[in-house]
Amino acid sequence: MEKVLIDENGDYGLDYTNAVWASDKMHQDYHNAKVQLSDADFLIENHAFVMIVEYKNANTEKAMKKRWKTKPFNPMEDKKFASTVRKFYDSRHYLALLGKKKPVRYIYVVEVPNGDVVMRKRLRERMKTQLPFALQDNLNTGIKLIDKVDVMSINEWNADREYGKYPFIKLEQKKREEKENSVNL
């Protein structure tokens, strides 16, 4: 049976059928506890590491309709960037409380108009300066809060050897495929 975590707008799902564990409950758990922490969208655990996945898609139909009344989403804008970085730190607490001890990767899956490989690389390099990589190296205790950060598009995620095992699926497409499969049975 396929297992899918659905993004907050209901446009895409993340298939976690092959995961050891996965969750999209962090937001609700933080809300229920009345804590003012920011949460990433998805958590996925495989045999080797845990992924904190933040997902932002400004290329959906809903997002495009809102563009006339709001300025376009820019992940490099200071306030948006700071929010994305904070989500790593605030999500890390959650993993600790769940007893997750595997190495942690923070992956930002971002789709924006005119977004390209160069923009995502610049964003990843900027994120590296704000995430605890230098602190880990400076303290030199062998303890790591983060092992890797990636910034990628949905297509890059789906094509990736490791992350693609948990593909993003456009839900309208998924519903059509399910309908076609039920007709063929």
| Single-letter amino acid code for the residue at 180 | E
- pLDDT score of 175 more than 80: no
Q: Note the pLDDT of residue 172.
A: 75
Q: What is the mean pLDDT of residues 171-184?
A: 57
pLDDT, one tens digit per residue, over 81-139 is 999 999 999 999 999 999 999 999 999 999 988 889 999 999 999 999 999 999 999 99
Parallel, antiparallel, or unpaired: how do β-strands 21-23 and 168-170 relate? Answer: unpaired
- pLDDT score of 179 more than 50: no
- pLDDT score of 33 more than 60: yes
- pLDDT score of 68 more than 90: no
Q: Note the pLDDT of residue 73.
A: 78
Q: What is the mean pLDDT of residues 60-83?
A: 76
Q: Note the pLDDT of residue 63.
A: 65
pLDDT, one tens digit per residue, over 47-57 is 999 999 999 98
Q: Note the pLDDT of residue 176.
A: 45
> Could you give the CA distance from residue 33 to residue 27 in angstroms, rounded to a whole number?
10
Instruction: Report how far apart, in Å, the C-alpha atoms of 164 and of each of 4, 152, 168 are.
Output: 14, 12, 8
How does residue 12 score in pLDDT terms, banded at 50, 70 and 90?
A: very high
SS3 45: strand
Contact 42, 61 (CB under 8 A): no
Of the two residues 173 and 52, the one the predictor is more confident about is: 52
> Could you give the CA distance from residue 138 to residue 23 in angstroms, rounded to a whole number?
32
Q: Note the pLDDT of residue 177.
A: 57
pLDDT, one tens digit per residue, over 148-162 is 999 999 999 999 999
pTM here? Answer: 0.89
Q: What is the mean pLDDT of the chain?
A: 89
